Amino acid sequence: MNSFPRLSPVRVLPLGDGYASTSVNTVIFRHHGLVTWGDYQFAAFYVSSTEMRVVRRSLRDETTQLGTITGSFHPADAHNCISLGLDSAGFIHIAYDHHAEPLKYRRSRNPLDVKEWTDPLPMTGRFEDRVTYPQFLMPPRSLGNTRPPMRLLFLYRHGGSGDGDICLKEYCPDSQTWVDMAERFVKGTDQKPWTANAYWNHPAFDSHGDLILSWIWCAADNASAMGDFAFYHNHGFARSPDGRRWFTSRGIELSLPMTPVNSEVILATTPGATLANMCSTAVDSRDRLHIAKYASETPGGVPQYQHIWFDGFAWRCRALTERKRPFDRPTWGPPMSRPEILLDPRDAVCVIYRCDDTGDRLVVQRLDAPDYAAPGTTFELWPDDVGHSEPIVDRLRWSRDGVLSILVQRTTQPAAVADRELPPEAVRIVDWRF
């Protein structure tokens, strides 16, 4: 285990105890599990299989408002995470408890208030029967100081692993209705002879408000004659100014849907390289995309954290760590979390993760522009072992205020679905200033 200098937090805000038998509260694809809007920061987590807690924190005086949503939830499956979003009128939107299940979605009854919620609502009714990875998206540029977001989008997978499509909807605050922007616009179903799905990283927006997606393809298991590993390969990219037209990184407009045949491959990755799905992206001051992931260089090799970025001429990839321990496949309970990535105003890359080399403590690894030479400088963020947790960051507060806020909880994830109940663990919002 390596030892790193510690970066002390400037604020630790306890939120109570939360469900910890899986990493459902701290799984990497929560977007947003922690989010800032104006003078408030919002968080949500499962307390138990019958209770969700939604928290409003005042960034002015540190007071909190706590709200509760009760029901019959399934946090024993870590896919069933909670996503938050806010519209231009300040109403809070929440989606939860999905793993190829019908849409579960509510709105707050009052702006910026977590106490009262509608009953479950539909959106458009189209492709809402098999939802996974629900994510509300808000362009950071529209959050300027205290101004409300101008747009609220909803991104999710329809279908299943190795056989799924990505869908995108947009909210109309005047009519309080949703519209379908792009139905199954990244498509893996109906492919022959093997179906697939795209596992996307945290989406990003550039300075013009263009939505940028990157992903890896997951083919059906029988695409391998061995059939005993996750058939993850190839990094894709697409950029959209409006959610309806999509372009490559070189500005070529693509016909929809994007598939493994016609989509751009920015980095070819061989099957069997222990490639992590659902990682993270960020955009630098030149609107160039940066991706943090982990993978091995060759099948059976030792997975390392890696940084992919566009340098203005070509896509580059560099390993950031020198781990020694291999593992079979990127599945539940690996010895390393999937990473988060943020960029500071000087375009330095900050990669946040926990792994066996850190003693399962959260760290941030900082790499300076323009070469991003590894290993850079690594700081310990949190002194305690966080188990199988992955970093849940408030990317909008980072973008606006330069404050790193993370939802911190020790959780466990030895298998895809928990087979026993463990005691709840403390949930906290922790802030750092670099």
For residue 123, tell me if it sits in a domain.
yes
For residue 4, tell me if it sits in a domain.
no
For residue 217, tell me if it sits in a domain.
yes
Q: What is the helix (H) or strand (E) element at residue 341, kind and residue range?
A: strand 340-343
Assign residue 375 the CATH number of its domain. Answer: 2.120.10.10
Task: Indicate the number of domains in the chain.
Answer: 1
Count of residues in the chain: 434
Predicted pLDDT at 2: 81
Predicted pLDDT at 141: 54
Predicted pLDDT at 414: 84
Predicted pLDDT at 229: 56
The Cα–Cα gap between 360 and 97 comes to 27
For residue 120, tell me if it sits in a domain.
yes
- Give the domain range for residue 371: 11-433
Predicted pLDDT at 145: 43
For residue 201, tell me if it sits in a domain.
yes
Matching residue, tokens 């260089």: 297
Q: Which residues, 6 or more positions from 228, have their beta carbon under 8 angstroms from its beta carbon?
A: none
Matching residue, tokens 């993270």: 280
- Within 163-261, strands assigned E span 163-172, 177-187, 196-200, 204-205, 211-219, 231-240
State pTM to two decimals.
Answer: 0.96
From first to last of its 434 residues, the chain has per-residue pLDDT tens of 788 999 999 999 999 999 999 999 999 999 999 999 999 999 999 999 999 999 999 999 999 999 999 999 999 999 999 999 999 999 999 999 999 999 999 999 999 999 999 999 999 999 999 999 999 999 875 444 444 456 999 999 999 999 999 999 999 999 999 999 989 999 999 998 989 999 999 999 999 999 999 999 999 877 776 655 568 999 999 999 999 999 999 999 999 999 999 999 999 998 888 999 999 999 999 999 999 999 998 888 999 999 999 999 999 999 999 999 998 767 778 899 999 999 999 999 999 999 999 999 999 999 999 999 999 999 999 999 999 999 999 999 999 999 999 999 999 998 889 888 999 999 999 999 98
For residue 67, tell me if it sits in a domain.
yes
The Cα–Cα gap between 250 and 306 comes to 23
The Cα–Cα gap between 300 and 159 comes to 29
For residue 5, tell me if it sits in a domain.
no
Question: Other CB atoms closer than 10 Å to residue 147's CB: what's the count?
Answer: 12
Instruction: Identify the bridge partners of residue 85 per DSSP, sorted by sequence position.
Output: 93
How wide is the angle at C-alpha 238 spanned by C-alphas 237 and 239, nearest 5°?
Answer: 135
Backbone angles phi, psi at 39, to 5 degrees: -90, 10
Predicted pLDDT at 228: 54
